[in-house]
Structure 1
Amino acid sequence: MGLGGCIILIAVGAILTFATDWEMKGANLDVIGLILMAVGLIGVVTFSSIAKRRRVVVPPTTPVIDERRNPHPYE
């Protein structure tokens, strides 16, 4: 599940919790919405921690020399 799926879970959970007043026999939609929001939040945290680990910056092995400049400016 990617970041988009996690955001959709949070949105659907918020809609079920805060924007509806439906009554279902045997299910509490407020609790279901809270569970969906919690799962979405856990997914966002997990996704962002995995994405941080994948960013690897490799320093250059040789220095970059700009040959357009005068190598001896005081001669």
Structure 2
Amino acid sequence: MGIGGGIFLIVVGAILAFAVSDSVDAIDLAMIGYICMAAGVLALIISLVLNAQRTNTTHREVIERHDDRRPPAPPPAY
């Protein structure tokens, strides 16, 4: 979801909770707004934690070489 998705959920939840005054019989829009805001905050926190971990990791490249050739013959003795 990422940072943008979390912010989007917070904004939509705030609009539903505080700006919409319509009422639907079976749905409490304010409660849905609060749920969206909570999900947005959770998504924002998780994405920030994951991004912080991603920047702190170090990458190490390991190169293994397997040489199946025989070593060169010793020089002839005179």
TM-score normalised by L of structure 1: 0.73
Match of residue 48 from structure 2? 48
Amino acid at match of 2:54: R
Match of residue 13 from structure 1? 13
CA–CA distance in structure 1, aligned partners of residues 34 and 56 of structure 2: 36
Match of residue 64 from structure 1? none
Count of aligned pairs between the two proteins? 58
Match of residue 37 from structure 2? 37
Runs of 4+ in 1 over 6 A off after TM superposition: none
CA–CA distance in structure 1, aligned partners of residues 56 and 28 of structure 2: 45
Q: 1:53 to 1:14 in 2, by over 3 A?
A: same
Q: Percent identity?
A: 38
Q: Could you tell me how far 1:57 is from its partner in structure 2?
A: 6.6
Q: 1:57 to 1:26 in 2, by over 3 A?
A: closer
Match of residue 63 from structure 1? none
CA–CA distance in structure 1, aligned partners of residues 2 and 56 of structure 2: 20
1:64-75 matches, within 5 Å, as none
Amino acid at match of 2:3: L
- When Rg is computed on C-alpha atoms for both structures, the one with the higher figure is 2
User: What residue ranges of structure 1 are gaps of 5+ in the alignment?
Assistant: 59-75
Computed over aligned residues only, the root mean square deviation of the Cα atoms, in angstroms, reads 1.2
Amino acid at match of 1:9: L
